[in-house]
Chain A
Amino acid sequence: MGGARGAPVPQRTAVGQTPDAPDPRDDQRRPSASRPAAQRRWRSSSAPLSIGLTAPVLVLVALVSVVPIVYATRLSLFETQFMNIGEFIGLDNFRQALGTSAARADILRTLVYVSVSLVVAVPLGLALALMLNLPFRFRAAFRAVIFLPWVVSQTVAALLWKWLLNPDYGPLPLGSFDPFADSVMAMGALILANVWISYPLAAMLFLAALQTVPGELLEAAEVDGAGKLRRLVSVILPTIKSTVLIVTIMLTLFFFNMVTLVYTLTAGGPHSATQTLSLQAFRESFQFFHLGLGAAYSIVLFGFNILFGAAYVRVLRSEK
């Protein structure tokens, strides 16, 4: 493999035919002697080396994401009893995960949870980013404080909000009204805690994107008499449009897949008023050990992810 560097194309192919060339250290063994061909080399077919450098990522992702999801799909088609896989039952698990009225209620609740959280978190993140992008005093301090909930884990966020909204010993004037005992308020509290941990990432991403909006463009718009709102709608939003979509995708997936916050804050209660698909998948698998049914729920969830992900990607493509 030693001289592969010098003569570009043919020997590259030779390298490529050695299937196990994933090691980046290959480079060390190659002499750096042949300087004149440097530029040509740079542009020569780089597939083998490129794939080699990507190989660790591919192996990791295949082993811990692709193989497991294939396995989960298989699992969802079988009858299971604790850790034992029984008979092939086709789509029976899916009939239970999609067909029953309880399942449809789960799906509806999940959609409410995801969409309300999105409708609050995305505009809130954008508004905060717009404010934090202005020049003012103590900007760094405000940024640090406002982004703080991002580092709080879902477990801790659940604890914090549970304790803050405690009807007996909490500091808020709830008058011994327990929000977690009321089905609507429990969902409200869950969404509040969810927005609280997720708006900072949205705001950070928006802030990063806002810094790419050309200042001259804003000045020109202002000279042309565009007011604040006009500048936001006609200049800022179009420039950061792809970020808005990316944030929406990220948060949508995050909310759909969220188990920990729901599990630790409300555990689906009261009376499954905050039961989401992801929580159901978790409980079927880990509480009731219905692994097949749990897998079916998580595949349904995966389906929703793909559906929404693909829809956004299409929007992103068509807008470009």
Chain B
Amino acid sequence: MTMANSATARGNTTMARRTAADRPRGRPRGSTSRWVYVGLAAASVLALTPILWAVSTSLKPESLVINADPTWIPTNLTFENYRIVLNESMFPRYVLNTFLVAVAAVLFTLVCALPAAYAASRLPFRGQRAMLFCILTTTMIPGIAILVPTYYLAVTTGLYDTFVILVIVYAAWQVPSSVWVLRGFVDSVPVDIEEAARIDGCSRIGAFLRVLMPILRPGIGGAFILAFVNIWNDFLIASTMVSTDERRLVSVGLYQYLSDTGVIWGQLTAAVVVTLLPIIVLFTVLSRYLTAGLAAGATKG
């Protein structure tokens, strides 16, 4: 309303435009917004139902889980399933393993990808586009195609069943898209800022570290979470490269549990919730970087 008033004050011609422009802001209180809320509520239900059902199951005693007449809200709550998962199973170890491997792999990815992204954006040369295109094309290679050869590679280098091979393979898997995202970010930073720093006596690496890196923080955050989620959720590589229980990663642990005979759903869903929590926390903390990272990396052709 205030805006409409101020528009009137500016005279007739502006008013016509103003009211039109105002409409999207003014109208959501009306019928349109109700449909938007309905749509969003439906989507939220779709997104949450499977997760909430698991949470509900994880809080039930086994007698309520195996019940032909299931209820959403447990009639008597128990944390017994969580106690068993946290104290008597290997899941905390699996979660820790996955966390360590994922962090190491993402850091390795970024250490490799950042200089490459910088070069791609700031140091052009003939044939660079083709080179970058080739790097990106490797993302078309199906993971399943390179699994057996990578297994051979791991065995022949003696790295089979170690975290090192996991970190290397994960980094190689994530590096192309990280370069892509980070290059978008470096592109969006005006070159003048670095030039100014260098005229002021900064070396190229000094300008990179002290001037460019702080500006790139959202991009690095975005690339971090993208790579982290992919690695955290991997099953194939983890199940191929590692066999010892102490070094098992969480998705393999879950699958192992499922394929064992006689699934205790209460415990399994408790384990699922335990594995979901860390990644949900990370996602919530870093989600604003995520949108920025995606905007820089993926909206460019």
Interface SS, B side: helix
Q: Are B175 and A222 in contact (CB under 8 A)?
A: no
B242 at the interface (CB under 8 A from A): no
Residue A182 at the chain B interface, CB threshold 8 Å: no
Chain B residues whose C-beta falls within 8 Å of the C-beta of A51 in the assembled complex:
119, 125, 131
Known: A50-B128, A134-B28. A38 touches B198 (CB 8 A): yes
- Which of A238-271 touch B at CB < 8 Å? 240, 242-243, 246-247, 253, 256-257, 259-260, 264
Interface window among A54-62, A89-97, A98-106, A111-119: A54-62
Count chain B CB atoms within 10 A of each CB in A65, A160, A219 and give the residue with the most.
A65
* Nearest CB in chain B to that of A64: its residue: B172
A288 interfacial contact with B, CB 8 Å: no
Task: Check A54 against B47 for contact (C-beta < 8 Å).
Answer: no
* A232 smallest CB distance to B (angstroms): 13
Q: Are A27 and B204 in contact (CB under 8 A)?
A: yes
Chain A minimum-CB-distance residue to B282: A151
Chain B residues near A242 (CB, 8 Å)? 299-301
| Central interface residue in A53, A142, A286, by most chain B CB within 10 Å | A53
Is residue A21 contacting chain B, with contact meaning CB distance below 8 A? no
* Size class of the contact patch on chain B: 35 or more
Q: Is the CB of A305 within 8 A of B51?
A: no
Do residues A68 and B291 form an inter-chain contact, with CB atoms below 8 A?
A: no
User: Which segment, of B75-83, B85-93, B271-279, faces chain A?
Assistant: B271-279
For the complex formed, measure the closest distance between the CB of B141 and the CB atoms of chain A, giving whole angstroms.
Answer: 5
Whether the Cβ atoms of A209 and B195 lie closer than 8 Å is: no
A200 to B290, CA, bound (A): 12
Closest residue of chain A to B50 (Cβ to Cβ) is A160
Residues of A within 8 A of B272 (CB): 156, 159-160
B274: min CB distance to chain A, Å: 11
Instruction: Identify 18 new A-B residue pairs, CB closer than 8 A, beyond the known A205-B299, A264-B235.
Output: A38-B199, A50-B125, A72-B145, A128-B40, A131-B36, A143-B287, A145-B48, A146-B40, A147-B287, A151-B280, A151-B283, A155-B233, A196-B46, A219-B17, A246-B301, A257-B144, A281-B144, A305-B141
